[in-house]
Structure 1
Amino acid sequence: MSQDVLREPAKAAIFLVVDVRPGSEDTARALLADLAGLTRAVGFRAPEDQLSCVVGIGSSLWRRLYQAPPPRDLHPFRGLSGARHTAPATHGDLLFHLRSRRLDLCFELERQVLRRLAGHVQVLDEVQGFKYFDERDLLGFVDGTENPEGRAATAAVTIGDQDPAYAGGSYVIVQKYLHDLDAWQALPVAEQERVIGRQKLSDIELTDQPANSHVAATTIVDPDGTERQIVRDNMAFGTPGAGEFGTYFIGYAATPAVIERMLQRMFVGEPPGNHDRILDFSTAVTGSLFFVPTAEFLEAPSTRGPATSPDGSLGIGSLRRSRT
């Protein structure tokens, strides 16, 4: 069974990225095996608020946890540098994506996770996200409009025959963007709409779509005309007292190649130099890639331990929602 990747948009979320300290692999594996039960225990007091947690594993940690070879497309996040904007690559061993209709449930589950991992991990990033009005980001535009639904959503995020040993899993890429709201709000609404590629109030795409709009940059179409899709679950975050306002981008996909192509178009441009204009107002400060195993694998991986056997050979084991 896949982890709970596909959910209705939540009202609250916590994004937690940690590194596992050397020698703490057994503790991390034990926590991952118990995570579903821990989530049920915390969420039991308010099941109607739909607490969930998805965990992703980074490429460097995978080889420390499991004998099985890594999933086919798992690799470190590939940073990008365009003529004007950069998508940095930042480290992360584990991503915890906690969601609920109430922030207190997310808070309590995070507290329990970190209690179990105390002394064994270093927290690299911790962001509390919230639903902002009618699914809008802090720039004032609806976020996630083009997310697929139903079977199309399942197909977009679920690994299949392309990597049979890891069928049912997913990949997830996260980036934290900080907005220059003063510069953005100085733009007339009509110009903001040309940056995004949608009308601000109605959320309808512009008929005269600029080639460097956000919508144009993040629309990926194969040569045969097939549009490639991902599932985004972005959330707004901010601390007005510190002047920090942002969007936490999180994209799930059956292969990271789709999101990587979007980011290439955003930061470098196709052709080069035709970057996504939203980057003139939103700066990426993190970037990480993780594999999302099935729930069954987390609870009982078929092989455990170091990535190589005592003779140095690789152990082989079998394993049982838009805008960027």
Structure 2
Amino acid sequence: MPFQQGLLATPVPAHARHLFFTLHAAEALPGVLDALLPQVDGLNLILGVGAPLVKALGREVPGLQPFPLLGAVVENPSTQHALWLWLRGNERGDLLLQGQALEQLLAPALTLVDSVDGFLHRGGHDLTGYEDGTENPVEQDAIDAAIVADGQPGLVGSSFAAFQLWKHDLGYFKSLPQADQDNIIGRRLSDNEELDDAPESAHVKRTAQESFEPEAFMVRRSLAWADERGAGLAFVALGHSFAAFDAQLRRMSGLEDGIIDGLYRFSRPLTGGYYWCPPRGEAALDLSLLLKA
């Protein structure tokens, strides 16, 4: 299936740079996207389109919507942007230079308003020390969860991505007794085993993918981050729609049964965005849903 291969490629590269753009000149957008296409290989550079960009083009991508405002007791801010570029590699300096070149390329139509540098911590652990993505689907199950299999041309092979930048209060979390830390996550730090007697607020119980109706499977591609804002997890979730992520976030926020996920005791999201990752064509991304032939 012709999807952007970097979405599901393993192992995850050691570094990532997430760039977020707003639109300032819609009339320049088609030309800028044409210039960008040769740069996007779908492996080391992944492109995600936000609803504001699609609207500016006067087009429609079935299933794409802005990040929702949930109205929960806990805050999940919507900071929806027009374009998301996800740079991946093993040299942070190369990603910085590549990002600067892309910013200049896009300047006639788009303005860089946020950037996040992610890094692989201890082979895939959150900065709390706990392993991230333990229950990720793999191989064909990952494709089934993350990639659109049916629909109109230009949609098949695409993926819907949710991005949230979670800021941890690591000082508070690490001050807690180990048993309390384990109960917040729902796993033992020592061996990553799930706790049978964890409280209902434990993150593992709140987000157990098979416990939803329908089941809420998605593929996570998160990395640690740290900058002047703090530190935490740059969370990326991929699905064939936003349904699984939306269901999990609503339950985490207490909107399903009033129980708030233990993560909110020490962490909070600073950002929230929904993006559509177009499929690959024979030689480049297939943007037929966005650009008129």
Whether 1:34 aligns to 2:38 is yes
Where does 1:187-202 land on structure 2 (aligned, <5 Å)?
187-202=176-191
From the superposition, tell whether residues 223 and 55 of structure 1 become closer, same or farther in structure 2 (CA, over 3 Å): closer
Deviation per residue, 1:183-227 (Å, 9 max, x gap): 111111111000000111211111213211111111233677x74
Distance 2:262 2:278 in 1: 35
- The alignment partner of 1:74 has SS state of coil
The AA in structure 1 aligned to 2:8 is L
Is the CA contact (8 Å cut-off) linking 1:172 and 1:250 kept in structure 2? yes
What corresponds to 2:8 in structure 1?
Answer: 6
From the superposition, tell whether residues 163 and 208 of structure 1 become closer, same or farther in structure 2 (CA, over 3 Å): farther
Is the CA contact (8 Å cut-off) linking 1:193 and 1:200 kept in structure 2? yes
What corresponds to 2:256 in structure 1?
Answer: 270
From the superposition, tell whether residues 257 and 164 of structure 1 become closer, same or farther in structure 2 (CA, over 3 Å): farther
- The alignment partner of 1:166 has SS state of coil
Deviation per residue, 1:8-55 (Å, 9 max, x gap): 122111111111212331233223322236x8xxxxxxxxxxx61111
The AA in structure 2 aligned to 1:232 is R
What corresponds to 2:208 in structure 1?
Answer: 219
What corresponds to 1:208 in structure 2?
Answer: 197
Whether 1:81 aligns to 2:67 is no
Where does 1:228-267 land on structure 2 (aligned, <5 Å)?
228-239=216-227, 242=228, 244-267=230-253
Deviates more, 1:21-30 or 1:170-179: 21-30
- The alignment partner of 1:107 has SS state of helix
- The alignment partner of 1:109 has SS state of helix
Deviation per residue, 1:209-265 (Å, 9 max, x gap): 3211111111233677x74311111111113xx471121111111010110111001
- The alignment partner of 1:24 has SS state of helix
Distance 2:183 2:122 in 1: 22
Distance 2:280 2:35 in 1: 13
What corresponds to 2:274 in structure 1?
Answer: 289
Is the CA contact (8 Å cut-off) linking 2:120 and 2:223 kept in structure 1? yes
What corresponds to 1:19 in structure 2?
Answer: 22
Distance 1:114 1:100 in 2: 18
The AA in structure 2 aligned to 1:286 is T
Is the CA contact (8 Å cut-off) linking 1:32 and 1:299 kept in structure 2? no
CA offset at residue 64 of structure 1?
2.6
- The alignment partner of 2:149 has SS state of coil
Distance 2:120 2:185 in 1: 20
- Identity among equivalent positions (%) equals 26
Deviates more, 1:275-284 or 1:119-128: 119-128
Distance 1:173 1:223 in 2: 18
Please report the TM-score for the alignment, with normalisation by the length of structure 2. 0.90
Is the CA contact (8 Å cut-off) linking 1:176 and 1:248 kept in structure 2? yes
Distance 1:120 1:285 in 2: 26
What corresponds to 1:63 in structure 2?
Answer: 55
Give the number of equivalent residue pairs: 288
**From 142, 146, 161, the counterpart of 2:150:** 161
CA RMSD of aligned residues (A): 2.3
From the superposition, tell whether residues 302 and 119 of structure 1 become closer, same or farther in structure 2 (CA, over 3 Å): closer
Distance 1:290 1:146 in 2: 23
Q: Larger Cα Rg: Structure 1 or Structure 2?
A: 1
Distance 1:248 1:113 in 2: 21
Is the CA contact (8 Å cut-off) linking 1:33 and 1:300 kept in structure 2? no
Is the CA contact (8 Å cut-off) linking 2:279 and 2:286 kept in structure 1? no
Distance 2:280 2:154 in 1: 14
From the superposition, tell whether residues 149 and 184 of structure 1 become closer, same or farther in structure 2 (CA, over 3 Å): same
Query: What stretches of structure 1 of length at least 5 have no aligned partner?
Result: 40-50, 307-316, 318-324
CA offset at residue 136 of structure 1?
1.0
From the superposition, tell whether residues 158 and 217 of structure 1 become closer, same or farther in structure 2 (CA, over 3 Å): same
